[in-house]
Structure 1
Protein backbone atom coordinates (compact mmCIF):
# COMPACT_ATOMS: atom_id res chain seq x y z
CA UNK A 1 0.00 0.00 0.00
CA UNK A 2 1.47 3.32 -1.08
CA UNK A 3 0.86 6.40 1.10
CA UNK A 4 1.35 9.90 -0.30
CA UNK A 5 1.70 13.34 1.24
CA UNK A 6 -0.10 16.11 -0.62
CA UNK A 7 2.47 18.91 -0.82
CA UNK A 8 0.65 21.83 -2.50
CA UNK A 9 -0.88 19.55 -5.11
CA UNK A 10 2.25 17.49 -5.63
CA UNK A 11 2.10 13.95 -4.28
CA UNK A 12 5.19 12.75 -2.48
CA UNK A 13 5.41 9.10 -1.51
CA UNK A 14 5.88 8.66 2.22
CA UNK A 15 8.62 6.34 3.36
CA UNK A 16 7.92 3.74 6.00
CA UNK A 17 9.52 4.51 9.38
CA UNK A 18 8.81 1.12 10.91
CA UNK A 19 8.63 0.14 14.57
CA UNK A 20 11.68 -0.16 16.79
CA UNK A 21 10.16 -2.85 19.03
CA UNK A 22 7.41 -5.47 18.78
CA UNK A 23 6.17 -4.04 22.07
CA UNK A 24 5.35 -0.77 20.31
CA UNK A 25 3.21 -2.64 17.79
CA UNK A 26 1.52 -4.54 20.61
CA UNK A 27 0.69 -1.47 22.69
CA UNK A 28 -0.75 0.39 19.70
CA UNK A 29 -2.92 -2.58 18.73
CA UNK A 30 -4.15 -3.37 22.23
CA UNK A 31 -5.21 0.26 22.74
CA UNK A 32 -7.29 0.10 19.56
CA UNK A 33 -8.58 -3.49 19.46
CA UNK A 34 -12.24 -2.55 19.21
CA UNK A 35 -11.91 0.13 16.52
CA UNK A 36 -9.60 -1.95 14.29
CA UNK A 37 -10.75 -5.53 14.83
CA UNK A 38 -14.01 -5.22 16.75
CA UNK A 39 -12.52 -7.34 19.55
CA UNK A 40 -12.65 -7.19 23.34
CA UNK A 41 -9.28 -7.01 25.09
CA UNK A 42 -8.81 -9.79 27.66
CA UNK A 43 -5.13 -10.00 28.63
CA UNK A 44 -1.61 -9.06 27.62
CA UNK A 45 1.38 -11.41 27.91
CA UNK A 46 -0.89 -14.31 28.86
CA UNK A 47 1.41 -17.20 29.79
CA UNK A 48 0.36 -20.82 29.93
CA UNK A 49 2.79 -23.72 30.30
CA UNK A 50 5.74 -22.99 28.01
CA UNK A 51 3.99 -20.54 25.69
CA UNK A 52 3.31 -16.84 26.06
CA UNK A 53 0.47 -15.19 24.14
CA UNK A 54 1.13 -11.55 23.28
CA UNK A 55 -2.54 -10.50 23.28
CA UNK A 56 -5.60 -12.53 24.23
CA UNK A 57 -8.85 -11.11 22.87
CA UNK A 58 -12.47 -12.18 22.50
CA UNK A 59 -14.84 -11.89 19.55
CA UNK A 60 -18.30 -11.24 20.97
CA UNK A 61 -19.98 -11.80 17.62
CA UNK A 62 -18.66 -15.33 17.20
CA UNK A 63 -18.36 -15.93 20.95
CA UNK A 64 -14.81 -17.17 20.54
CA UNK A 65 -11.24 -16.44 21.58
CA UNK A 66 -8.70 -14.69 19.37
CA UNK A 67 -4.94 -14.91 19.88
CA UNK A 68 -2.82 -12.06 18.51
CA UNK A 69 0.93 -12.29 17.95
CA UNK A 70 3.33 -9.55 16.80
CA UNK A 71 6.42 -10.02 14.65
CA UNK A 72 9.22 -7.93 13.24
CA UNK A 73 11.00 -9.53 10.33
CA UNK A 74 9.97 -12.74 8.59
CA UNK A 75 12.15 -15.54 10.00
CA UNK A 76 9.41 -17.68 11.50
CA UNK A 77 6.81 -20.25 10.42
CA UNK A 78 3.20 -19.08 10.30
CA UNK A 79 1.81 -22.62 10.28
CA UNK A 80 3.98 -23.89 13.15
CA UNK A 81 3.12 -20.98 15.43
CA UNK A 82 -0.59 -21.03 14.58
CA UNK A 83 -0.92 -24.74 15.28
CA UNK A 84 1.00 -24.41 18.54
CA UNK A 85 -1.37 -21.72 19.79
CA UNK A 86 -4.48 -23.56 18.59
CA UNK A 87 -3.34 -26.69 20.39
CA UNK A 88 -2.63 -24.69 23.54
CA UNK A 89 -6.12 -23.21 23.49
CA UNK A 90 -8.03 -26.41 22.77
CA UNK A 91 -6.14 -28.44 25.35
CA UNK A 92 -6.51 -25.77 28.05
CA UNK A 93 -10.04 -24.49 27.59
CA UNK A 94 -10.68 -24.05 31.30
CA UNK A 95 -7.66 -21.78 31.73
CA UNK A 96 -8.73 -19.55 28.83
CA UNK A 97 -12.28 -19.26 30.15
CA UNK A 98 -10.93 -18.56 33.64
CA UNK A 99 -9.01 -15.60 32.24
CA UNK A 100 -12.18 -14.35 30.55
CA UNK A 101 -14.08 -14.70 33.84
CA UNK A 102 -11.34 -12.77 35.63
CA UNK A 103 -11.56 -9.94 33.11
CA UNK A 104 -15.36 -9.71 33.18
CA UNK A 105 -15.69 -10.53 36.87
CA UNK A 106 -18.45 -13.08 36.30
CA UNK A 107 -18.86 -16.80 35.73
CA UNK A 108 -18.80 -18.10 32.14
CA UNK A 109 -19.37 -21.75 31.26
CA UNK A 110 -16.78 -23.38 29.00
CA UNK A 111 -19.63 -24.94 27.02
CA UNK A 112 -20.89 -21.47 26.03
CA UNK A 113 -17.74 -20.72 24.03
CA UNK A 114 -17.67 -21.56 20.31
CA UNK A 115 -14.29 -23.26 20.11
CA UNK A 116 -14.71 -24.00 16.38
CA UNK A 117 -14.56 -20.25 15.62
CA UNK A 118 -11.24 -19.60 17.35
CA UNK A 119 -8.59 -17.84 15.28
CA UNK A 120 -5.06 -16.50 15.28
CA UNK A 121 -4.08 -13.02 14.09
CA UNK A 122 -0.42 -12.42 13.26
CA UNK A 123 0.58 -8.78 12.95
CA UNK A 124 3.92 -7.94 11.34
CA UNK A 125 5.61 -5.10 9.50
CA UNK A 126 5.87 -7.41 6.47
CA UNK A 127 5.44 -11.02 5.34
CA UNK A 128 7.44 -12.96 2.80
CA UNK A 129 5.90 -14.89 -0.10
CA UNK A 130 5.97 -18.24 1.67
CA UNK A 131 4.18 -16.86 4.71
CA UNK A 132 1.49 -15.33 2.53
CA UNK A 133 1.02 -18.64 0.72
CA UNK A 134 0.43 -20.41 4.04
CA UNK A 135 -2.98 -18.80 4.56
CA UNK A 136 -4.33 -20.14 1.25
CA UNK A 137 -5.58 -23.31 2.97
CA UNK A 138 -9.33 -22.83 3.11
CA UNK A 139 -9.82 -24.02 6.68
CA UNK A 140 -6.83 -22.40 8.37
CA UNK A 141 -8.11 -19.93 11.05
CA UNK A 142 -5.16 -17.59 10.65
CA UNK A 143 -5.20 -13.95 9.58
CA UNK A 144 -2.14 -11.97 8.48
CA UNK A 145 -2.12 -8.21 9.02
CA UNK A 146 0.63 -5.81 7.99
CA UNK A 147 1.12 -2.90 10.39
CA UNK A 148 3.13 0.01 9.02
CA UNK A 149 4.29 3.27 10.54
CA UNK A 150 4.89 6.15 8.12
CA UNK A 151 5.58 8.82 10.72
CA UNK A 152 3.55 12.02 11.14
CA UNK A 153 1.01 9.92 13.11
CA UNK A 154 0.10 7.90 10.01
CA UNK A 155 -0.46 4.20 10.71
CA UNK A 156 -1.91 1.54 8.41
CA UNK A 157 -3.35 -1.90 9.16
CA UNK A 158 -3.66 -4.00 6.00
CA UNK A 159 -5.42 -7.39 6.05
CA UNK A 160 -3.69 -9.82 3.67
CA UNK A 161 -6.40 -12.07 2.30
CA UNK A 162 -5.87 -15.51 0.71
CA UNK A 163 -5.13 -15.41 -3.01
CA UNK A 164 -6.46 -18.92 -3.68
CA UNK A 165 -8.34 -21.77 -2.02
CA UNK A 166 -6.17 -24.84 -1.52
CA UNK A 167 -7.28 -28.13 0.03
CA UNK A 168 -8.08 -28.38 3.73
CA UNK A 169 -5.53 -29.28 6.35
CA UNK A 170 -6.72 -32.56 7.84
CA UNK A 171 -6.01 -33.99 11.27
CA UNK A 172 -5.02 -37.64 11.06
CA UNK A 173 -7.02 -40.32 12.85
CA UNK A 174 -4.43 -40.95 15.57
CA UNK A 175 -4.38 -37.28 16.45
CA UNK A 176 -8.16 -37.19 16.60
CA UNK A 177 -8.21 -40.14 19.00
CA UNK A 178 -5.62 -38.63 21.31
CA UNK A 179 -7.38 -35.31 21.89
CA UNK A 180 -10.72 -33.60 21.78
CA UNK A 181 -9.65 -31.26 18.99
CA UNK A 182 -12.49 -30.85 16.55
CA UNK A 183 -11.92 -30.31 12.83
CA UNK A 184 -11.55 -26.65 11.92
CA UNK A 185 -14.77 -25.74 10.19
CA UNK A 186 -14.97 -23.45 7.21
CA UNK A 187 -17.93 -21.12 7.05
CA UNK A 188 -18.78 -19.77 3.63
CA UNK A 189 -21.75 -19.12 1.37
CA UNK A 190 -21.98 -22.78 0.43
CA UNK A 191 -22.11 -23.76 4.11
CA UNK A 192 -25.13 -21.49 4.68
CA UNK A 193 -27.03 -22.08 1.44
CA UNK A 194 -26.37 -25.78 0.85
CA UNK A 195 -29.65 -27.70 0.73
CA UNK A 196 -31.77 -24.54 0.76
CA UNK A 197 -34.55 -24.15 -1.87
CA UNK A 198 -33.75 -22.07 -4.95
CA UNK A 199 -36.13 -19.33 -3.83
CA UNK A 200 -34.20 -18.88 -0.57
CA UNK A 201 -30.85 -18.84 -2.35
CA UNK A 202 -32.26 -16.34 -4.85
CA UNK A 203 -33.59 -14.08 -2.09
CA UNK A 204 -30.24 -14.16 -0.37
CA UNK A 205 -28.30 -13.24 -3.53
CA UNK A 206 -30.72 -10.41 -4.24
CA UNK A 207 -30.37 -8.90 -0.77
CA UNK A 208 -26.61 -9.47 -0.80
CA UNK A 209 -26.26 -7.50 -4.03
CA UNK A 210 -28.50 -4.74 -2.69
CA UNK A 211 -26.42 -4.33 0.47
CA UNK A 212 -23.12 -4.37 -1.44
CA UNK A 213 -24.49 -1.68 -3.76
CA UNK A 214 -25.21 0.56 -0.75
CA UNK A 215 -21.50 0.91 -0.05
CA UNK A 216 -18.47 -0.53 -1.83
CA UNK A 217 -16.72 -0.85 1.54
CA UNK A 218 -18.98 -3.66 2.73
CA UNK A 219 -17.24 -6.93 3.55
CA UNK A 220 -19.05 -10.25 3.94
CA UNK A 221 -18.01 -12.47 6.85
CA UNK A 222 -19.45 -15.95 7.19
CA UNK A 223 -20.05 -16.93 10.80
CA UNK A 224 -21.29 -20.23 12.21
CA UNK A 225 -24.94 -19.18 12.52
CA UNK A 226 -25.26 -16.17 10.23
CA UNK A 227 -23.73 -14.08 7.46
CA UNK A 228 -22.46 -10.66 8.55
CA UNK A 229 -22.22 -7.52 6.41
CA UNK A 230 -19.58 -5.24 7.89
CA UNK A 231 -17.69 -2.03 7.17
CA UNK A 232 -14.37 -1.55 8.96
CA UNK A 233 -15.17 -4.49 11.27
CA UNK A 234 -18.49 -2.91 12.31
CA UNK A 235 -21.59 -4.99 11.62
CA UNK A 236 -24.54 -3.36 9.86
CA UNK A 237 -26.68 -6.38 8.91
CA UNK A 238 -26.78 -10.11 9.63
CA UNK A 239 -28.67 -12.79 7.69
CA UNK A 240 -29.65 -16.28 8.86
CA UNK A 241 -30.79 -18.51 5.96
CA UNK A 242 -33.44 -21.12 6.83
CA UNK A 243 -35.34 -23.63 4.70
CA UNK A 244 -38.41 -21.43 4.21
CA UNK A 245 -37.22 -17.90 4.91
CA UNK A 246 -34.32 -15.56 5.61
CA UNK A 247 -34.08 -13.84 8.97
CA UNK A 248 -32.44 -10.44 8.66
CA UNK A 249 -31.10 -8.42 11.60
CA UNK A 250 -30.38 -4.71 11.67
CA UNK A 251 -27.57 -3.91 14.08
CA UNK A 252 -29.18 -0.94 15.79
CA UNK A 253 -30.32 -0.62 19.37
CA UNK A 254 -33.98 -0.32 20.24
CA UNK A 255 -35.10 3.27 19.68
CA UNK A 256 -32.42 4.12 17.11
CA UNK A 257 -34.56 3.02 14.17
CA UNK A 258 -38.14 3.96 13.25
CA UNK A 259 -39.64 1.13 11.21
CA UNK A 260 -43.43 1.41 11.86
CA UNK A 261 -43.71 -2.06 13.38
CA UNK A 262 -42.49 -3.83 10.25
CA UNK A 263 -39.59 -5.41 12.15
CA UNK A 264 -39.74 -7.57 15.26
CA UNK A 265 -38.27 -6.22 18.48
CA UNK A 266 -35.76 -8.87 19.62
CA UNK A 267 -34.03 -6.75 22.26
CA UNK A 268 -35.23 -9.11 25.01
CA UNK A 269 -35.00 -12.34 23.03
CA UNK A 270 -32.05 -14.66 22.57
CA UNK A 271 -30.72 -14.67 19.01
CA UNK A 272 -27.51 -15.15 17.05
CA UNK A 273 -27.62 -12.11 14.78
CA UNK A 274 -26.61 -8.65 16.02
CA UNK A 275 -29.06 -5.86 16.73
CA UNK A 276 -32.51 -5.35 18.23
CA UNK A 277 -34.47 -5.45 14.95
CA UNK A 278 -35.26 -8.60 12.95
CA UNK A 279 -37.58 -9.59 10.14
CA UNK A 280 -38.41 -12.80 8.28
CA UNK A 281 -38.25 -12.66 4.48
CA UNK A 282 -40.31 -15.29 2.65
CA UNK A 283 -40.67 -13.84 -0.84
CA UNK A 284 -39.60 -11.11 -3.25
CA UNK A 285 -42.58 -8.89 -2.40
CA UNK A 286 -41.45 -8.69 1.22
CA UNK A 287 -37.89 -8.10 0.15
CA UNK A 288 -38.84 -5.10 -2.00
CA UNK A 289 -40.48 -3.43 1.00
CA UNK A 290 -37.54 -4.22 3.28
CA UNK A 291 -34.98 -2.64 0.97
CA UNK A 292 -36.28 0.85 1.82
CA UNK A 293 -35.74 0.17 5.51
CA UNK A 294 -32.26 -1.23 4.87
CA UNK A 295 -31.16 1.94 3.14
CA UNK A 296 -32.48 4.04 6.02
CA UNK A 297 -30.83 1.78 8.61
CA UNK A 298 -27.52 1.95 6.75
CA UNK A 299 -27.62 5.77 6.85
CA UNK A 300 -28.46 5.82 10.58
CA UNK A 301 -25.68 3.34 11.41
CA UNK A 302 -23.13 5.40 9.45
CA UNK A 303 -24.14 8.53 11.34
CA UNK A 304 -23.87 6.77 14.71
CA UNK A 305 -20.42 5.39 13.90
CA UNK A 306 -19.17 8.78 12.68
CA UNK A 307 -20.12 10.34 16.02
CA UNK A 308 -18.54 7.63 18.20
Structure 2
Protein backbone atom coordinates (compact mmCIF):
# COMPACT_ATOMS: atom_id res chain seq x y z
CA UNK A 1 0.00 0.00 0.00
CA UNK A 2 1.48 3.34 -1.05
CA UNK A 3 1.20 6.34 1.29
CA UNK A 4 1.29 9.97 0.19
CA UNK A 5 1.58 13.37 1.77
CA UNK A 6 -0.91 15.90 0.43
CA UNK A 7 0.18 19.54 0.85
CA UNK A 8 -1.80 22.77 0.68
CA UNK A 9 -0.80 23.26 -2.95
CA UNK A 10 -2.59 20.07 -3.91
CA UNK A 11 0.61 18.17 -4.64
CA UNK A 12 1.11 14.50 -3.69
CA UNK A 13 4.51 13.26 -2.55
CA UNK A 14 5.11 9.61 -1.72
CA UNK A 15 6.06 8.65 1.83
CA UNK A 16 8.60 5.89 1.40
CA UNK A 17 8.78 2.82 3.59
CA UNK A 18 11.63 2.72 6.11
CA UNK A 19 11.94 -0.96 7.08
CA UNK A 20 12.89 -1.98 10.60
CA UNK A 21 16.52 -3.12 10.65
CA UNK A 22 16.00 -5.51 13.54
CA UNK A 23 13.05 -7.70 14.45
CA UNK A 24 13.84 -6.80 18.05
CA UNK A 25 12.81 -3.22 17.28
CA UNK A 26 9.36 -4.44 16.24
CA UNK A 27 9.11 -6.58 19.37
CA UNK A 28 10.08 -3.65 21.60
CA UNK A 29 7.49 -1.41 19.93
CA UNK A 30 4.71 -3.97 20.40
CA UNK A 31 5.62 -4.79 23.98
CA UNK A 32 5.85 -1.13 25.00
CA UNK A 33 2.47 -0.35 23.42
CA UNK A 34 0.69 -3.69 23.86
CA UNK A 35 -2.58 -2.25 25.15
CA UNK A 36 -2.76 0.46 22.48
CA UNK A 37 -1.85 -1.80 19.54
CA UNK A 38 -3.61 -5.05 20.41
CA UNK A 39 -5.78 -4.34 23.45
CA UNK A 40 -3.81 -6.92 25.47
CA UNK A 41 -2.03 -7.03 28.81
CA UNK A 42 1.74 -7.40 28.50
CA UNK A 43 2.88 -10.38 30.60
CA UNK A 44 6.43 -11.46 29.71
CA UNK A 45 9.09 -10.84 27.10
CA UNK A 46 11.25 -13.82 26.10
CA UNK A 47 9.21 -16.31 28.13
CA UNK A 48 10.99 -19.68 28.24
CA UNK A 49 9.22 -22.97 28.89
CA UNK A 50 10.33 -26.55 28.18
CA UNK A 51 13.43 -25.31 26.35
CA UNK A 52 11.31 -23.20 24.01
CA UNK A 53 11.37 -19.42 23.93
CA UNK A 54 8.23 -17.40 23.33
CA UNK A 55 8.93 -13.88 22.06
CA UNK A 56 6.02 -12.22 23.86
CA UNK A 57 3.39 -13.59 26.22
CA UNK A 58 0.25 -11.49 26.59
CA UNK A 59 -3.26 -11.84 28.01
CA UNK A 60 -6.60 -10.80 26.53
CA UNK A 61 -8.75 -9.39 29.38
CA UNK A 62 -11.92 -9.60 27.29
CA UNK A 63 -11.72 -13.23 26.20
CA UNK A 64 -9.81 -14.23 29.38
CA UNK A 65 -7.22 -16.07 27.30
CA UNK A 66 -3.47 -16.05 26.77
CA UNK A 67 -1.96 -14.81 23.51
CA UNK A 68 1.47 -15.84 22.22
CA UNK A 69 3.13 -13.34 19.90
CA UNK A 70 6.01 -14.29 17.62
CA UNK A 71 8.00 -11.95 15.38
CA UNK A 72 8.85 -13.64 12.07
CA UNK A 73 12.38 -13.43 10.75
CA UNK A 74 12.16 -15.91 7.90
CA UNK A 75 9.58 -15.10 5.25
CA UNK A 76 9.34 -18.68 4.01
CA UNK A 77 9.08 -20.50 7.36
CA UNK A 78 5.90 -22.35 8.27
CA UNK A 79 3.44 -20.46 10.46
CA UNK A 80 1.14 -23.48 10.78
CA UNK A 81 3.69 -25.87 12.31
CA UNK A 82 5.14 -23.26 14.65
CA UNK A 83 1.71 -21.99 15.63
CA UNK A 84 0.39 -25.44 16.54
CA UNK A 85 3.59 -26.19 18.47
CA UNK A 86 3.03 -23.15 20.69
CA UNK A 87 -0.68 -23.83 21.14
CA UNK A 88 0.07 -27.39 22.19
CA UNK A 89 2.85 -26.20 24.50
CA UNK A 90 0.46 -23.86 26.29
CA UNK A 91 -2.34 -26.40 26.68
CA UNK A 92 0.08 -28.94 28.14
CA UNK A 93 1.66 -26.46 30.58
CA UNK A 94 -1.25 -24.34 31.76
CA UNK A 95 0.05 -24.00 35.33
CA UNK A 96 3.30 -22.39 34.13
CA UNK A 97 1.44 -19.71 32.18
CA UNK A 98 -0.84 -18.95 35.13
CA UNK A 99 2.13 -18.73 37.49
CA UNK A 100 3.87 -16.27 35.18
CA UNK A 101 0.71 -14.17 34.94
CA UNK A 102 0.25 -14.04 38.72
CA UNK A 103 3.88 -13.16 39.36
CA UNK A 104 4.01 -10.31 36.83
CA UNK A 105 0.50 -8.94 37.43
CA UNK A 106 0.40 -9.53 41.20
CA UNK A 107 -2.96 -11.25 40.94
CA UNK A 108 -4.47 -14.60 41.83
CA UNK A 109 -5.60 -15.98 38.49
CA UNK A 110 -6.79 -19.58 38.69
CA UNK A 111 -6.89 -22.25 35.98
CA UNK A 112 -10.70 -22.04 35.71
CA UNK A 113 -10.51 -18.25 35.27
CA UNK A 114 -8.84 -18.75 31.88
CA UNK A 115 -10.81 -19.63 28.76
CA UNK A 116 -8.26 -21.95 27.18
CA UNK A 117 -10.54 -22.49 24.19
CA UNK A 118 -9.77 -18.93 23.01
CA UNK A 119 -6.00 -19.20 23.24
CA UNK A 120 -4.28 -17.93 20.09
CA UNK A 121 -0.93 -17.29 18.44
CA UNK A 122 -0.16 -14.07 16.55
CA UNK A 123 2.71 -13.77 14.09
CA UNK A 124 4.01 -10.26 13.43
CA UNK A 125 6.17 -9.48 10.42
CA UNK A 126 7.04 -6.73 7.95
CA UNK A 127 5.61 -8.96 5.25
CA UNK A 128 4.12 -12.40 4.68
CA UNK A 129 4.32 -14.57 1.60
CA UNK A 130 1.17 -15.64 -0.28
CA UNK A 131 1.77 -19.18 1.01
CA UNK A 132 1.88 -18.00 4.62
CA UNK A 133 -1.31 -15.99 4.18
CA UNK A 134 -3.10 -18.93 2.59
CA UNK A 135 -1.85 -21.34 5.27
CA UNK A 136 -3.83 -19.60 8.04
CA UNK A 137 -6.97 -18.92 6.00
CA UNK A 138 -9.17 -21.28 8.01
CA UNK A 139 -12.22 -20.03 9.89
CA UNK A 140 -11.52 -22.08 13.04
CA UNK A 141 -7.74 -21.66 13.25
CA UNK A 142 -6.46 -19.68 16.24
CA UNK A 143 -3.42 -18.35 14.38
CA UNK A 144 -3.33 -14.75 13.15
CA UNK A 145 -0.94 -12.74 10.97
CA UNK A 146 -0.26 -9.05 11.65
CA UNK A 147 1.75 -6.99 9.16
CA UNK A 148 3.73 -3.96 10.36
CA UNK A 149 5.42 -1.30 8.25
CA UNK A 150 7.34 1.84 9.18
CA UNK A 151 7.67 4.93 6.99
CA UNK A 152 10.23 7.71 6.70
CA UNK A 153 7.97 10.26 8.45
CA UNK A 154 7.97 8.02 11.58
CA UNK A 155 4.48 6.73 10.81
CA UNK A 156 3.71 3.07 11.42
CA UNK A 157 0.94 0.96 9.91
CA UNK A 158 -0.20 -2.21 11.66
CA UNK A 159 -2.61 -4.40 9.72
CA UNK A 160 -4.19 -7.67 10.89
CA UNK A 161 -4.56 -9.88 7.82
CA UNK A 162 -8.22 -10.79 7.49
CA UNK A 163 -9.38 -14.29 6.73
CA UNK A 164 -11.75 -14.97 3.86
CA UNK A 165 -15.39 -15.33 4.89
CA UNK A 166 -15.52 -18.46 2.74
CA UNK A 167 -12.53 -20.07 4.45
CA UNK A 168 -12.74 -23.79 5.13
CA UNK A 169 -12.34 -25.60 8.44
CA UNK A 170 -8.86 -26.65 9.53
CA UNK A 171 -10.41 -29.87 10.88
CA UNK A 172 -11.24 -31.09 7.39
CA UNK A 173 -7.61 -30.69 6.34
CA UNK A 174 -5.90 -31.99 9.48
CA UNK A 175 -8.47 -34.58 10.60
CA UNK A 176 -6.01 -37.49 10.30
CA UNK A 177 -3.19 -35.82 12.22
CA UNK A 178 -3.18 -36.67 15.98
CA UNK A 179 -0.96 -33.73 16.94
CA UNK A 180 -3.30 -31.21 15.28
CA UNK A 181 -6.42 -32.98 16.58
CA UNK A 182 -5.41 -32.40 20.20
CA UNK A 183 -5.24 -28.63 19.67
CA UNK A 184 -8.31 -28.22 17.45
CA UNK A 185 -10.49 -30.13 19.91
CA UNK A 186 -9.60 -27.77 22.75
CA UNK A 187 -9.32 -24.42 20.99
CA UNK A 188 -12.35 -22.95 19.24
CA UNK A 189 -13.11 -20.01 17.00
CA UNK A 190 -16.56 -18.63 17.81
CA UNK A 191 -18.92 -17.20 15.23
CA UNK A 192 -22.24 -15.38 14.97
CA UNK A 193 -23.68 -18.61 13.58
CA UNK A 194 -22.73 -20.46 16.79
CA UNK A 195 -24.34 -17.86 19.04
CA UNK A 196 -27.52 -17.55 16.96
CA UNK A 197 -28.02 -21.29 16.60
CA UNK A 198 -31.38 -22.43 17.97
CA UNK A 199 -32.69 -18.90 18.45
CA UNK A 200 -36.09 -17.88 17.08
CA UNK A 201 -36.47 -15.95 13.85
CA UNK A 202 -37.67 -12.94 15.86
CA UNK A 203 -34.51 -12.89 17.98
CA UNK A 204 -32.27 -13.34 14.93
CA UNK A 205 -34.03 -10.49 13.15
CA UNK A 206 -33.74 -8.32 16.28
CA UNK A 207 -30.02 -9.03 16.46
CA UNK A 208 -29.52 -8.16 12.79
CA UNK A 209 -31.35 -4.84 13.28
CA UNK A 210 -29.10 -3.79 16.17
CA UNK A 211 -25.96 -5.18 14.58
CA UNK A 212 -26.53 -3.16 11.40
CA UNK A 213 -27.38 -0.04 13.40
CA UNK A 214 -24.14 -0.34 15.38
CA UNK A 215 -22.04 -0.89 12.26
CA UNK A 216 -23.63 2.19 10.68
CA UNK A 217 -22.31 4.35 13.53
CA UNK A 218 -18.75 4.12 12.22
CA UNK A 219 -17.19 2.43 9.20
CA UNK A 220 -14.29 1.14 11.32
CA UNK A 221 -16.43 -0.92 13.70
CA UNK A 222 -15.87 -4.67 13.47
CA UNK A 223 -17.86 -7.67 14.71
CA UNK A 224 -15.87 -9.93 17.06
CA UNK A 225 -17.77 -13.03 18.28
CA UNK A 226 -16.67 -14.30 21.70
CA UNK A 227 -17.65 -17.42 23.61
CA UNK A 228 -20.82 -16.01 25.22
CA UNK A 229 -21.52 -12.79 23.34
CA UNK A 230 -20.73 -10.74 20.24
CA UNK A 231 -18.39 -7.83 20.73
CA UNK A 232 -18.18 -4.70 18.58
CA UNK A 233 -14.79 -3.02 18.37
CA UNK A 234 -13.15 -0.04 16.71
CA UNK A 235 -9.46 -0.82 16.40
CA UNK A 236 -8.73 -2.26 19.87
CA UNK A 237 -11.39 -0.25 21.66
CA UNK A 238 -14.42 -2.25 22.82
CA UNK A 239 -17.63 -0.35 22.15
CA UNK A 240 -20.42 -2.68 23.18
CA UNK A 241 -21.49 -6.31 23.32
CA UNK A 242 -24.69 -8.14 22.38
CA UNK A 243 -25.57 -11.26 24.34
CA UNK A 244 -28.15 -13.31 22.45
CA UNK A 245 -30.83 -14.63 24.79
CA UNK A 246 -33.92 -16.78 24.34
CA UNK A 247 -36.41 -13.91 24.09
CA UNK A 248 -34.25 -10.94 23.24
CA UNK A 249 -30.83 -9.34 23.52
CA UNK A 250 -28.76 -7.99 26.39
CA UNK A 251 -26.66 -4.97 25.39
CA UNK A 252 -23.58 -3.97 27.39
CA UNK A 253 -22.13 -0.51 26.70
CA UNK A 254 -18.44 0.14 27.37
CA UNK A 255 -18.81 3.40 29.27
CA UNK A 256 -17.56 3.84 32.83
CA UNK A 257 -20.03 4.43 35.66
CA UNK A 258 -21.19 8.04 35.85
CA UNK A 259 -20.19 8.90 32.28
CA UNK A 260 -23.21 7.76 30.26
CA UNK A 261 -25.87 10.32 29.38
CA UNK A 262 -29.12 8.34 29.47
CA UNK A 263 -32.05 10.75 29.80
CA UNK A 264 -34.63 7.97 29.35
CA UNK A 265 -32.87 5.87 32.02
CA UNK A 266 -33.13 2.68 29.98
CA UNK A 267 -29.81 1.28 31.23
CA UNK A 268 -28.84 -0.10 34.60
CA UNK A 269 -25.56 0.16 36.47
CA UNK A 270 -23.72 -3.20 36.45
CA UNK A 271 -20.38 -1.93 37.75
CA UNK A 272 -20.64 -4.03 40.91
CA UNK A 273 -22.08 -7.24 39.46
CA UNK A 274 -20.61 -9.93 37.23
CA UNK A 275 -21.44 -9.65 33.54
CA UNK A 276 -20.25 -10.49 30.05
CA UNK A 277 -18.64 -7.83 27.91
CA UNK A 278 -16.93 -4.58 28.90
CA UNK A 279 -18.54 -1.53 30.45
CA UNK A 280 -20.67 -0.50 33.41
CA UNK A 281 -24.08 -0.21 31.73
CA UNK A 282 -26.50 -2.71 30.23
CA UNK A 283 -30.08 -2.90 29.01
CA UNK A 284 -32.34 -5.69 27.83
CA UNK A 285 -33.85 -5.34 24.37
CA UNK A 286 -36.94 -7.07 23.03
CA UNK A 287 -37.89 -4.76 20.13
CA UNK A 288 -36.68 -1.83 18.03
CA UNK A 289 -38.90 0.81 19.66
CA UNK A 290 -35.95 2.79 21.06
CA UNK A 291 -33.39 1.70 18.46
CA UNK A 292 -32.36 5.22 17.46
CA UNK A 293 -32.10 6.37 21.07
CA UNK A 294 -30.11 3.29 22.09
CA UNK A 295 -27.67 4.01 19.26
CA UNK A 296 -27.13 7.45 20.80
CA UNK A 297 -26.04 5.63 23.97
CA UNK A 298 -23.73 3.27 22.10
CA UNK A 299 -22.22 6.17 20.20
CA UNK A 300 -20.92 7.56 23.50
CA UNK A 301 -18.58 4.55 23.74
CA UNK A 302 -16.91 5.21 20.38
CA UNK A 303 -13.48 6.78 20.74
What TM-score bracket applies, with the shorter chain setting the length? Answer: over 0.9
* Deviations 1:184-212, CA, capped at 9 Å, x for gaps: 32211111111100010000000011111
Q: Which residue of 2 aligns with 1:197?
A: 200
> 46-55 or 257-266, which moves further after superposition?
257-266
Q: TM-score, normalization: structure 2?
A: 0.93
> Unaligned 5+ residue runs, structure 1?
none
Aligned to 2:267: 263
Distance 1:181 1:99, change over 3 A: farther
Tell me whether 1:244 sits opposite 2:247 in the alignment: yes
Tell me the equivalent position of 1:279: 283
CA contact (8 A) 1:90 1:115 kept: yes
- Where does residue 63 of structure 2 map in the other structure? 62
Structure 1 Cα separation of the partners of residues 73 and 90 of structure 2: 24
Q: Deviations over 1:90-146 (max 9, x none)?
A: 000000000100111122111110000011111100001000101211111111111
Question: Cα gap change, 1:289/1:152 in structure 2, threshold over 3 Å: closer, same or farther?
Answer: same
Residue from 192, 197, 214 that aligns with 1:211: 214
Q: TM-score, normalised by structure 1?
A: 0.91
Whether the aligned pair in 2 keeps the contact of 1:257 and 1:297 (CA below 8 Å) is: no
Q: Residue 150 of structure 2 contacts residue 157 of structure 2 at CA under 8 Å; is this kept in 1?
A: yes
Q: Are the aligned partners of 1:214 and 1:295 in contact in 2 as well (CA < 8 Å)?
A: no
1:3–1:13 CA contact under 8 A, matched in 2: yes
How far apart, CA to CA, are the structure 1 residues paired with 2:93 and 2:255?
Answer: 36
Cα distance in structure 2, aligned partners of 1:218 and 1:146: 20
In structure 1, distance between residues paired with 2:233 and 2:298? 13
Pair 1:89–1:127, CA change in 2 (3 A): same
Q: In the alignment, which residue of structure 1 is the partner of 2:132?
A: 131
- How many residues are aligned here? 299
1 CA distance for matches of 2:35 and 2:230? 20
Is the Cα–Cα contact under 8 Å of residues 84 and 183 in structure 2 kept in the other structure?
A: no
Secondary structure of 1:98 counterpart: helix
Indicate whether 1:161 and 2:180 are aligned: no
Indicate if the aligned counterparts of 2:87 and 2:183 stay in contact, CA closer than 8 A: no
Coordinate RMSD, CA, aligned: 2.0
Asked if 1 retains the 8 angstrom alpha-carbon contact of 2:267 and 2:281, the reply is yes
